[in-house]
Structure 1
Amino acid sequence: MVKAAKAAKVTTAKVTTVKATRANEQTHFRTCNLCEAMCGIEIKHDGNKVLSIKGDKNDPFSQGYICPKATALQDLHEDPDRLRQPVERTANGWKEISWTDALDKVAAGIQSVQKQHGQNALGIYLGNPNVHNLGGMLTIRHLLHSIKTRSRFSATSIDQLPHHIVSMHLFGHMLRIPVPDVNRTQYMLIIGGNPLASNGSIMSAPNMRQKLKDIKARDGKVVVIDPRRTETADIASEHHFIRPATDVLLLLAMLNEIHLQGYAKEHAKNNRAAALAPEIDRIASFAKDYTAESVAGITGITAVEIKRLVKEFCEAESSVCYGRMGISVQEFGLLSQYLAMVINIVTGRLDEVGGLMFPNPAVDVVNNSGPGYLGKRLSRVSNLPDFNGEYPVVAMADEMLVEGEGQLKGFISVAGNPVLSTPNGEKLDKALSQLDFMVSLDYFVTETSRHANIILPPVSPLERDHYDLTFNGFAVHNVAKYSKALFSKKKNERHDWQIYLELAKRLNKKVPLATKAERLLIKVLGPKFLLDQGLRRGPYEGMTLKKLKKNLHGIDLGPLKSMLPQALKHKDKKIHLNVDFYQADLDRVKEMMQQYDDSQILLIGRRHVRSNNSWLHNSHRLVKGKSRCTLMLHPETAQQHSIEHGQDVKVSSRVGSVVIAAEVTDELMPGVVSIPHGWGHGRKGVKQKIAQAHAGVSVNDLTDDTLIDQLSGNAAVNGVPVQLEAIHAEAGELEVNKIDKLEATELEVSG
């Protein structure tokens, strides 16, 4: 506890923009909603302006820790580029219009597309910020039901889709995802994850730096496997480079070694999870063809090291295998996540202290939502499976560009920027420009929303109530906290839930009486009454919204506890390993091994703690300093391509090319290059001054929409083959570049 408090003091960030007297200074406690970590923050304000933001030391979950992103809550709220009123695109540029006109025109545009081209000719995309939004999460279904289209997409299939499918198969629900009990484990194996930059990710965990240090302090071990020596790898006990998209081979070899070394049999004696899995005996032969020796050459990890890792993992007092984005967004993402889960099961680490455990949130979303499904329908052009009613994002552009019945002619983008966040962004950019009608729900004119006919802006995060419906379900410690809005919205502004209900009312008037009654209650009371119902029906007796309101810092609900078999949502209360489904994908693995070309340069992404996809780059505080949008590459790779540090490099893939400055570093293994996700703000028509001044390039102008995980439809943006070409400037150009860089530096300092 002392160490945590000390770390909190170091990481506390303060922002002061206005001097206030003690007489009018007020304090507001809330949860930062800009990432998954759910950090508690203390905001000083004078009723109109934010004076400072720092960590809330009394928050039971984060204990005073915050990352630099928290300051962006003020920046988002005060951003002069943020839209406050609906705008319509005209021949003379964007024009503000009234809410009534905007909503009427949007409804008319949607109805026109569907009447002329069919119900499914309208598509909708839901971006990442939706799950950070209480009102949006509770009411988006009203909009979805009213438009009645099957052409739905979301950020899920460029991110965590494999987690959902594995959990649906094994545990009976797509949201029943166990998380590492990081606070009590003795051995944490992290494959393709960088929780120091992401603050967890499908593992809501503030101050991961301290949590990992605590593992080492109690004589435990943290092992990171990643093509890059990340911020997490830097503080780990050890780090191993691995060739991108070969994690499936490592996991297969580890599973094989667990059986060969007798650990599966040894752990079977007290393995409660394995006892609930009828197919567990079939796992013994699942990976029998993948020895440590057979995968060493391709993965880059020696057979000796693989065997040692297995031995240490299995003999630790407690251990957990955690795989995240690096293994999800590749061509074997689903099989890799399945193998990581199976390794935890066969070694007796599932539902055990220090292993992989199920959170028990105050609002039981699992018991109040459908379990999910895979492959009821296939996308029109690429024949990719839908998941829970959504098609993979890699199918989206083709659905707009390829003519025929069902071609998308209209589109709704809700809190998303898929031009920068999904594969082959240039292709999607072109597709959006050809639509008959488009509407965006967004704060800004972005690379995506610039194509909209009308943009409907919701209020800022500080003007809405907050409760983490989603991320409490992934929290490494059970807590509950409600934050009322800091500032009241102005009369000419709208909450996102108000926008959804107004559109639903215009688009679908013939709804059941119960739906009408619910819409009326939401309109009068706001969506928080739905939250109160969820709390009352939850697992904690006496939990109500009124109780949360009295506990401004939140309520500590205790550490993770064993929840099997009650946590299982299958009717038979068993773990369904679905061996046949996953074993069928081993044919693709064998083909990959036979055709593997280790001479290719492979592209991976990366994340920074000051960035969150593309939606925080208009905050000066978060983008200042040296450019983070660089091409990282190993000195050996640079030498092979005659590339010097700082030199511009043309990076090309099957779908496009970008020019980006080289950052030569031994952080990357040879033959691998890295470009961060979410940049590329230089497109014409974007109305974000700071983001455009720090434009960078979009890695998704290189990622390939034909590279997918065929088992799930998830995008494979890690391990993209690329070519490198050093750009040699002429002498005159070099001088101009020097002047440009000098001016940019001076602007940075003065800014």
Structure 2
Amino acid sequence: MPHDPSNSRTALRICPLCEATCGLTLTIEGARITGARGDRDDVFSRGFICPKGASIGGLDADPDRLRTPLVRKDGVLTEASWSEAFDAIARALPALTEEHGQQAVGVVLGNPNVHTMAGALYPSVLLSALRTRALFTASTLDQMPKHVSSGLLFGDPNAIPVPDLDRTDHLLLLGANPLESNGSLCTAPDFPGKLKALRRRGGTLTVVDPRRTRTARLADRHVAVRPGTDALLLAALTHVLFEEKLTDPGALTGHIEGLDEVAEAVREFTPEAVAGACDVDAATIRTIARELAAAPTAAVYGRIGSCTVEHGTLASWLVDVLNILTGNLDRPGGALFPLSATARAPRPAAPGKGFALGRWTSRVSGHPEANGELPVSALAEEIETPGEDRIRALIVLAANPVLSAPDGDRLDRALGGLDFMVSVDPYLNETSRHAHVVLPPPPPSQSAHFDFAFNALAVRNQVRYTRPAVPLDDGLLDESEILARLVLAVSGMRGADRSAVDAVDAMVVDRLLTKAVADPHSPVHGRSPAELTADLTGRTGPERRLDLMLRLGPYGEGFGAAPEGLTLQRLLAHPHGIDLGPLRPRVPEVLTTRSGRIELLPGPVAADLPRLRHALAERRGPDALLLIGRRHLRSNNSWLHNIAELSGGSNVCTLQIHPTDAARLGLADGGLATVASDGGAVTAPVELTEGIRAGVVSLPHGWGHSRPGTRLSVAAAHPGVNVNQLLDGSRLDPLSGTAVLNGIPVTVTVTVAVTPDGIVPEVPKAAPPVVPTA
């Protein structure tokens, strides 16, 4: 299509492609995005943009995106109308639960759900309609250890402190590479710029990572720890603080319990005791601890590399213990709790219900639930194993567990044996190809956007909302309507009209207001829900729900109680967002533990520490290799491999290995190597680099686009290999149920060597994509 500047306009959009949530200014011709740049007036991102945001037009216009529902007929996925698709669901799922019970339906939620407005608003309504406990999400492949440790320490699994990047003097960063990931569980546009600003103002950055990542290259000190030993290192740092009398919780002193018990719990984890296991000398450990304690302000921040390991919950717990012991939790320049505009308004400090683990267990292996979820690693066995409450049907919302979970081959086979499966997904991918019904949401430009989850993790309090930049294409449904209709369909309703869809949102509004007017701490206590409902504004049900949450939130106008407060209309009047100020101390109002205090040594943590002590004695041979993953700036898990603008360059699936290990194994740069572990083997091109420590190899996550029956033409042309196929799903962090994805023992052997003239034999490409049959 030729460029037509006379038909060009601009529109604002918050980027949904990573956790940085940058503001974008889109250039649009007709209904097509022709350009994207950072919104310089955005109150949060101030014009920052990364390659993902710049390529949003390619994602929008990807010809492989599904534009109409698919329904399986005679074993073949066939284009169908929306009414056909929802009627198929309404016929199948209620009949299945009637015969086999509610637990026969499982739900899988993928990472993209937290990047869309609909994905935040409707899954809880769907789960309520299904009344199933068979919930599996990407959290047990990522951040669940942090939810568990926060729940145990503070009483609330979503009370996650974030580093105050703009004001800290000292940042200790473990298992994170924000120059590639843009941050995670720490929403910070231009994370690289914030780290550089820290250095410019004389601050200190220490990065703990087995790879010399782009982030590590920026640091004052890079500690190339042995993978999987983060908890040991953190325990040793904690030990030094006690041993050298460097602890000073400061303002938190009156809000903590268990200080002496923590001191005793880490008594054996001396720097000398952990040095061998971590491969970090004791003097360095002591220096890091002393610098942390001496800094005017400091923050410890750990992410996926310290979560997806054998002691992920212990590592996550110790991150906050260190922040507490140095007086840096809940103070400016340290780690603070954000307060989002849609959070529950602060209440008087009081003891709460606390946080419990293992309220139920998985049917086959008895894995305890964590935060209401079962390990996604257990999904295949829950489908395959006969018996009562066997999962016979699955609803998959924006997830691709065949690539993201351990042992995708087994899960692939299990999905093929389901009685019924629904996928809400814009692509026919490695998972959705098994569905009986596929419901495709519209492109990002055609969707409204509000960051419910990421505002609660932001390094500065702010609020932004963007309406769709482009009207819905004919024949598409808004994602909110898709999920609302799905709620109706699983309840057995066929032929739902617009009024029935609106009733889903109206039901949620009524529930929330009924609860609010009964709450003596609410600004609407004692008022009429009907009167309040009539005051809500918004073009759609989701907007009315957003208006409700803004009004009753911590900055809200409270339906007249605080006339200058937030409403949807006020937010719409500020298209670049509203700045709500820097993070501020919030303890004790965030605490909901039974004691009303920070419980420094929760029972489940204490019970898991013997396992960490056992790790002190573990030693690996000099030739042992450990596998870790890695992030790519131009990728996000398996989402974006079908976008041509983001393929190639550094965004490739290679096995990174240190030259000394490669020489020992006879591997050459560009040759092929076979990597094997518990779950199987994969073959990948070799990339020699001194940026990874000896004894460690690295493969990126989210690749393996070689299965038949998908419609991912760009990804299939450069499929890579599925690193998670090396795992059999048996390695889990026991407290959180999180799959151990890093620090995995592997063997590496030569597959194809480079010929003397430097030619590498060509690797066969994947078969062309086809529509799957039965």
TM-score (norm 2): 0.89
Q: Which residue of 2 aligns with 1:518?
A: 507
Deviations 1:579-600 (A, max 9, x none): 4321221211122223432443
Task: Pick from 337, 340, 344 the counterpart of residue 316 of structure 2.
Answer: 337
Which secondary structure state, in structure 2, belongs to the residue aligned with residue 389 of structure 1? coil
Q: Which residue of 2 aligns with 1:442?
A: 425
Residue 405 (str. 1) matches residue 429 (str. 2): no
Whole-Å Cα distance in 2 between the matches of residues 546 and 370 of structure 1?
A: 35
Residue 302 (str. 1) matches residue 281 (str. 2): yes
Whole-Å Cα distance in 2 between the matches of residues 178 and 291 of structure 1?
A: 27
1:438 to partner: Cα distance: 1.1
Residue 102 (str. 1) matches residue 102 (str. 2): no
Q: Which residue of 1 aligns with 2:575?
A: 552
Q: Which residue of 2 aligns with 1:530?
A: 545
Whole-Å Cα distance in 2 between the matches of residues 122 and 313 of structure 1?
A: 49
Q: Which residue of 2 aligns with 1:114?
A: 97
Gaps of 5+ in 1: 1-16, 742-751
1:200 to partner: Cα distance: 1.1
Q: Which residue of 1 aligns with 2:747?
A: 723
Superposed CA RMSD in Å reads 2.5
1:315-354 superposed matches below 5 A: 315-354=294-333
Task: Pick from 608, 611, 619 the counterpart of residue 585 of structure 1.
Answer: 608
Task: Pick from 282, 288, 293 the counterpart of residue 267 of structure 2.
Answer: 288
1:509-658 superposed matches below 5 A: 517-518=506-507, 525-541=540-556, 542-570=565-593, 573-599=596-622, 600-625=624-649, 628-658=652-682
Q: 1:579 to 1:149 in 2, by over 3 A?
A: closer
Q: Is the 8 A contact 1:479 1:557 kept in 2?
A: yes
Q: Is the 8 A contact 1:372 1:387 kept in 2?
A: no
Task: Pick from 156, 165, 173 the counterpart of residue 182 of structure 1.
Answer: 165
1:536 to partner: Cα distance: 0.6
One-letter amino acid of the structure 1 residue matched with residue 120 of structure 2: M
Q: Is the 8 A contact 1:274 1:346 kept in 2?
A: no
Q: Which residue of 2 aligns with 1:6?
A: none
Q: Which residue of 2 aligns with 1:7?
A: none
Q: 1:367 to 1:457 in 2, by over 3 A?
A: farther
Deviations 1:612-665 (A, max 9, x none): 010111100101336620000111111111111111001111111111000011
Which secondary structure state, in structure 2, belongs to the residue aligned with residue 125 of structure 1? strand
Q: Which residue of 1 aligns with 2:341?
A: 362
Whole-Å Cα distance in 1 between the matches of residues 34 and 362 of structure 2?
A: 50
Residue 507 (str. 1) matches residue 496 (str. 2): no
Residue 678 (str. 1) matches residue 667 (str. 2): no
Whole-Å Cα distance in 1 between the matches of residues 451 and 136 of structure 2?
A: 22
One-letter amino acid of the structure 2 residue matched with residue 714 of structure 1: T
Which range moved further: 583-592 or 284-293?
A: 583-592
Which range moved further: 123-132 or 274-283?
A: 274-283
1:730 to partner: Cα distance: 9.6
Q: 1:164 to 1:376 in 2, by over 3 A?
A: same
Q: Which residue of 2 aligns with 1:714?
A: 738
Q: 1:658 to 1:734 in 2, by over 3 A?
A: farther
1:259-278 superposed matches below 5 A: 259-264=242-247, 267-268=248-249, 271-278=250-257
Whole-Å Cα distance in 1 between the matches of residues 585 and 403 of structure 2?
A: 41
1:210-225 superposed matches below 5 A: 210-225=193-208
Q: Is the 8 A contact 1:274 1:280 kept in 2?
A: no
1:152 to partner: Cα distance: 1.0
1:310 to partner: Cα distance: 0.7
1:735 to partner: Cα distance: 6.3
Task: Pick from 11, 14, 20 the counterpart of residue 4 of structure 2.
Answer: 20
Which range moved further: 217-226 or 361-370?
A: 361-370
Whole-Å Cα distance in 2 between the matches of residues 481 and 322 of structure 1?
A: 26
Which secondary structure state, in structure 2, belongs to the residue aligned with residue 737 of structure 1? coil
Which secondary structure state, in structure 1, belongs to the residue aligned with residue 761 of structure 2? helix
Q: Which residue of 1 aligns with 2:477?
A: 494
Q: Which residue of 2 aligns with 1:464?
A: 447
1:223-262 superposed matches below 5 A: 223-262=206-245
One-letter amino acid of the structure 2 residue matched with residue 430 of structure 1: R
1:284 to partner: Cα distance: 1.9
Q: 1:518 to 1:469 in 2, by over 3 A?
A: same
Q: 1:516 to 1:420 in 2, by over 3 A?
A: closer
Q: 1:395 to 1:525 in 2, by over 3 A?
A: same
Whole-Å Cα distance in 2 between the matches of residues 732 and 313 of structure 1?
A: 52
Q: Is the 8 A contact 2:346 2:589 kept in 1?
A: no
Which range moved further: 626-635 or 83-92?
A: 83-92
Which secondary structure state, in structure 2, belongs to the residue aligned with residue 565 of structure 1? coil
Q: 1:461 to 1:257 in 2, by over 3 A?
A: same
Deviations 1:295-314 (A, max 9, x none): 11110110010011111111
Deviations 1:67-96 (A, max 9, x none): 100133212211111011101234574310
One-letter amino acid of the structure 2 residue matched with residue 350 of structure 1: L
- Share of identical aligned residues, percent? 40
One-letter amino acid of the structure 2 residue matched with residue 577 of structure 1: L
Q: Is the 8 A contact 2:89 2:490 kept in 1?
A: no
Which secondary structure state, in structure 1, belongs to the residue aligned with residue 472 of structure 2? coil
Q: 1:732 to 1:402 in 2, by over 3 A?
A: farther
1:574 to partner: Cα distance: 1.6
Residue 60 (str. 1) matches residue 28 (str. 2): no
Q: Which residue of 2 aligns with 1:208?
A: 191
Whole-Å Cα distance in 2 between the matches of residues 584 and 303 of structure 1?
A: 27
Task: Pick from 373, 397, 401 the counterpart of residue 414 of structure 1.
Answer: 397
Whole-Å Cα distance in 1 between the matches of residues 707 and 757 of structure 2?
A: 23
Gaps of 5+ in 2: 494-499, 510-532, 557-564, 766-774
Task: Pick from 32, 40, 45 the counterpart of residue 28 of structure 2.
Answer: 45
Q: 1:730 to 1:198 in 2, by over 3 A?
A: closer
Deviations 1:268-307 (A, max 9, x none): 4xx1123201222322212001110111111011001001
Aligned residues: 719
1:691 to partner: Cα distance: 0.8
Which secondary structure state, in structure 2, belongs to the residue aligned with residue 466 of structure 1? coil
TM-score (norm 1): 0.92
